[in-house]
Structure 1
Amino acid sequence: MKLVGIERVDSYERAVVKEGMARLLKPLGGMEAFVQPGEKVLLKPNMLSAKTPDAAVTTHPEVLRAAIELVQQAGGLPLVGDSPGVGSQKRVAEKTGLLQVIEESGAEIADFSEPVEVAGKGTFKRFALARPYLEADRVINLPKLKTHEMMTMTCAVKNLFGAVVGAGKAGWHLKAGADRDLFARMLVELYLLRKPDLNIVDAVAAMEGDGPGSGDPRHVGLLLAGENAVAVDVVAAEIAGIPKKLLYIQRAAASLGVDGADRSEIETTGLPLEEACVPGFRLPHISDVQFGLPQFLKNRLRHYLTSRPCLVEERCRLCGVCKDACPPHAIDIKEGRLSFDYHACIRCFCCRELCPEGALDVVEGTLVKIIKKFK
């Protein structure tokens, strides 16, 4: 059985988070079960972009602080690293409050700029991952529970995509991002290359709606933990009320026979699951009805079958973040406004995910609107 702990933590007050995390890990053997004295321990938070902690975009600094202190008490040497979607690691760490915690605690920042090529073991043959992620003695994954417009939910497995260095993420979106199931398979195969030793989920304040960067904070008041990242994701999705058919990562894990995807093999401890479940957790409104169609029809009808990004002109500052982040270079700035090439657009929504002003919305395809109307 895969064990997943659930603990009620109602605020980010320092003592509350530290005590809650200690209670959370106790049934799993405590931090000492995962960290030995003298080991270099990489803590991998979500550092998507330079947003303040109240935006619920990134792992909260007090969750990182509690994890660092528990690692230190177990005798480990904590390093903190991630590769943000936009901006330098130091800039994002500073804005999110994570840098202050790192400096105050005596931990070190791990430089995620150097990629190391690793042979894949499945559909995808090569991955280039940050050296500290591969070389650390232990990896502790610190994801944020959020909705995700492409994967429906981002939590433990998806957070490991941050081990891909910088521009490498755009390459993966180009290679696999036009198909959600294929992209989920890539994420699972990446996870299998270096499984975290422990996953601790920040769900004190989660994100609902159009996450992972443009959604709304939602107080959930929980921390989750488990050794198996897939099992942690399954329980997190159950708490958020996300139907299995929308969990692309879980589906990919199940198809590959990966441990943790079978709910019957997962046991929860701590707060009873029925007390942890969140009513009315809003999911992304991105719609896509093209799955199951022949490829030639997908290509011809994609504009009508899928949602696509569009500009909210009054919010746009023409900063160019979306243009630079777009994997297929489908966004340009022409005559003082954004221009979209929807034939090139792969609907990965990286532009919405990374826009610092929330200036990108979604317009649904014509057939999607008709289907919803008759539903």
Structure 2
Amino acid sequence: MKTVSLQAIRNYDPETVAAAMDALLSPLGGIKAFICPGQKVLIKPNMLAGKAPEKAVTTHPSIVREVILRVQSVGAAAVVGDSPGIGSCRQVAQKCGILQVIEETGAKLATFAESVPIGGSGEGGHRLEVAQDVISADIIINLPKLKTHQMMGMTGAVKNMFGAVVGMRKPHLHLQAGADKARFACMLLDLCEKIKPALTIVDAGLAMEGNGPGSGTPVWIGALLAGDEPVAVDAAALELLGLPLTSCWTQQVALEREMKGSSLEQIQLVGTPVSDLRPARFLPAKNTDVNFGLPPLLKKRLRRSLSAFPKIDPRMCSSCGLCVKHCPPQAMTLDSKRVRIDLNNCISCFCCQELCPEGAIETQQGLLLRLADFIHGRT
């Protein structure tokens, strides 16, 4: 039985965050249950892009500050790092407010510049490499932001570890999986298992719904979650949002693999009752794949009707070219200041949407996919 702690949080004021963190970690034994004096602790927030905290794209600086202070209180060294989708780690950390927290507390910034192999290939056959800073840490604390994710359904504890992969090695892993979301989810689970964060604390104060993880709508949930098993923490997060476990691809694959903490029956929820925290309404990411159990040949022929693809809103697009540069299969081109997408080569990874600074990329569902959502009441 895996324990996941939940705690209400009213705002991000330092005093409020400190009190909430006390109550959150107490059922787990406090921070000292995970860290020893003298250890090097890597704190891994979500620093997807250089957006202000109120955009709900990155882990809130107040949460990062409080975790740094608790690590230092034990006599351990705190290092904060991530590999952002756009821009350098330092630039993104400065824009989202995390660099100021690092400098104020005397912690150090890990820029995730050097990549090293992490061992043999995982269950999905992926050859994995991560930042040297991850390997050299004694302990890893995982600090995800709770957001919808257009490809995986939700990004939380498991998906946040993808930030340990350095820079342009991420598109390579997307290419290996192609349009197979289950295979990509399998890779994420393998990566998380190999990294083994000792503690995960999810920032679900100001979360993101809808068009996440970079262009969705901020929504106040007012919760923190914590546990030592990322899969169990994600299961609790889905329960908090009132979403089925199968709405998140990593959780669905974890259930199929019968991983520890993948089902609610294997989890003990402590702290603030979920019923007190669950929002009255939460808009999930759009469904992007359905196959009705069709044979592969027919599914291939009906791919555009059964799947979802990115669609450019020309009114919002600034023709910056970031989506073109970061598209794993190079299915996007910039022609006469207009972005064009080759849907025959698009793998529906939605990296373009995730990284678009203007929020100019929408999700366009195929006809049969829209019909399936209507039938199942998802519209």
Q: What residue number does 2:344 align with?
A: 343
Which residue in 2 is equivalent to 1:264?
265
Contact 1:241 1:279 in 2 (8 A): no
Work out whether 1:70 is the aligned partner of 2:70. yes
Cα–Cα, structure 1 residues 35 and 301, in superposed 2: closer, same or farther, change >3 Å?
same
Q: SS in structure 2 opposite 1:332? A: strand
Shift of 1:276: 1.9
TM-score (norm 1): 0.97
Give 3-state SS (helix, strand or coil) of 1:343's partner: coil
Contact 2:153 2:285 (8 Å CA) reproduced: yes
1:131-210 → structure 2 map (5 Å cutoff): 131-210=132-211
Shift of 1:243: 1.1
1:288-327 mapped onto 2 (5 Å cutoff): 288-290=289-291, 292-327=293-328
Q: Is the 8 A contact 2:123 2:186 kept in 1?
A: no
Q: Distance in 2 between matches of 1:236 and 1:158?
A: 13
Secondary structure, counterpart of 1:86 in structure 2: coil
How much does 1:125 deviate?
A: 4.4
Q: Partners of 2:171 and 2:112 in 1: how far apart? A: 16
Name whichever of 357-366 and 192-201 sits farther off: 357-366
Root-mean-square deviation over aligned CA pairs: 1.4
Are the equivalent residues in 2 in contact too, given 1:8–1:222 (CA < 8 A)?
yes
* Residue aligning to 2:285: 284
Opposite residue 155 of structure 2, the aligned amino acid is: T
Shift in Å, 1:18: 1.6
Structure 1's unaligned 5+ residue stretches are none
TM-superposed CA distance for 1:116, in Å, is 0.6
With over 3 angstroms needed to count, the CA separation of the structure-2 counterparts of 1:341 and 1:17, relative to structure 1, is: same
Moved more, 150-159 or 122-131: 122-131
Deviations 1:283-341 (A, max 9, x none): 01243223633332232221222111111111111111111111000110112211110
Any idea what SS the aligned residue of 1:116 has? strand
Deviations 1:57-108 (A, max 9, x none): 0000000000000100111100001101111111110110000000111000
CA contact (8 A) 1:120 1:193 kept: no
Deviations 1:102-125 (A, max 9, x none): 011100011301111122242224
CA contact 1:86–1:325 (8 Å) conserved in 2? no
Instruction: Determine if the alignment matches structure 1 residue 255 to structure 2 residue 286.
Output: no
Q: Which residue of 2 aligns with 1:100?
A: 100
Alpha-carbon spacing, 1:125–1:310, altered in 2? closer, same or farther (3 Å): closer
How far residue 368 of structure 1 moved from its aligned partner, in angstroms, is: 2.6
Question: Aligned-pair distance for 1:372?
Answer: 4.8
- Alignment-mate amino acid for residue 129 of structure 1: V
In the superposition, relative to structure 1, how do residues 370 and 3 fare at CA in structure 2: closer, same or farther (>3 Å)?
Answer: closer
CA contact (8 A) 1:286 1:362 kept: no
Distance 1:124 1:372, change over 3 A: closer
Distance in 2 between residues matched to 1:110 and 1:372, nearest whole Å: 43
Give distance in 1, aligned partners of 2:374 and 2:61.
43
SS of the residue corresponding to residue 292 of structure 1 reads coil
Q: Tell me what 1:90 maps to.
A: 90
- Normalising by structure 2, we get a TM-score of 0.96
Correspondence for 2:245: 244
- Counting aligned pairs with the same residue, the percent is 47
Aligned length: 375
Give 2:322's aligned amino acid: V
- What secondary structure does 1:315 align onto? coil
Q: Which residue of structure 1 lines up, in the alignment, with residue 36 of structure 2?
A: 36
Q: Report what 2:6 is aligned to.
A: 6
Where 1:280 maps in the other structure, the secondary structure is coil
Shift of the alpha carbon at 1:370? 4.3
Kept in 2: contact 1:124–1:189 (CA 8 A): no
